[in-house]
Amino acid sequence: MKNNRLHNFLKCIRWNYEESRIVRVGTKEKGKKTTYVIRGRSRCISSIAEDCFAMLLWREFKSTKITIFVDQPISLSNRKQPYYPDIVICKTIKNKEKYEILFMIDLKMDVNWHKNSFLKNANKLEAICKKMKNAKELKGKKGDAIGEKKKELEFVISPRASYDEVIINSKNSKKNKIKMLEASKNKNINLWVLSKGQHPNSYKNKKDMEPNDDDYNNLIKKMKKIIEKTI
């Protein structure tokens, strides 16, 4: 079934890729774009993609009991280095600066970096989620838009929580593309591919990406099942 939110999200990703090729500061002179300052490489849009995906998920749930963190460090009591999930969906524990982790996402633009072991990262995320469930204490920090001192946050994690990998586009990997798309159809694997076909950063071909509605809808169903049983 077509999901308009997913389609709009993919259009947003395409637009941001196109914008990332342009120098955005001081590029106009008397109403005309200057050609004297030119970008050789595009800006990285991964952070923008994280923000856009977090807003997409917020529109799916629209619950005041839910808080979504983006690129949130989470420290474990028995580990020096924190983990940095791209997206963390939490239940807000009433009247406390405390949150229950329900779902975490590692968001990737495409599959190029996977190389030969495309399930290795998905398995790694499952292992991290298990470590969090076994940890005695989970903590984090939250800043604000005007740069005030960061607040200490306390997290707990639901026994039902999951840590999944979400790949925006299946392009950039001829060898693993078919296997990865097949694996993403398996609801028991914590791997999801949101689109196939044209890469959103394509220069030559302006064809739209092919949204993978089934994968996205199944991901949302998985999330809602966990969230609805918790809040």
Residue 100 CA, distance from chain mean position: 19
pTM across the whole model: 0.86
- CA-derived radius of gyration, the chain: 19
The rounded distance, in Å, linking the Cα atoms of 96 and 167 is 34
The rounded distance, in Å, linking the Cα atoms of 183 and 165 is 12
Give the closest residue to 69 by CA, choosing from 87, 45, 43.
Answer: 87
Kindly state the DSSP code that residue 168 receives in the 8-state scheme: S
Q: Give the number of other CB atoms < 10 A from CB of residue 43.
A: 16
pLDDT tens sequence for the chain (231 residues): 788 999 999 988 888 877 787 776 655 555 555 567 778 787 888 899 999 999 999 999 988 889 999 999 999 987 889 999 999 999 988 766 789 999 999 999 887 666 557 788 899 999 999 999 999 999 998 766 566 667 788 999 999 999 999 999 887 556 666 777 788 888 888 999 998 877 665 656 656 678 999 999 999 999 999 999 888
The position carrying tokens 């997409």 is: 56
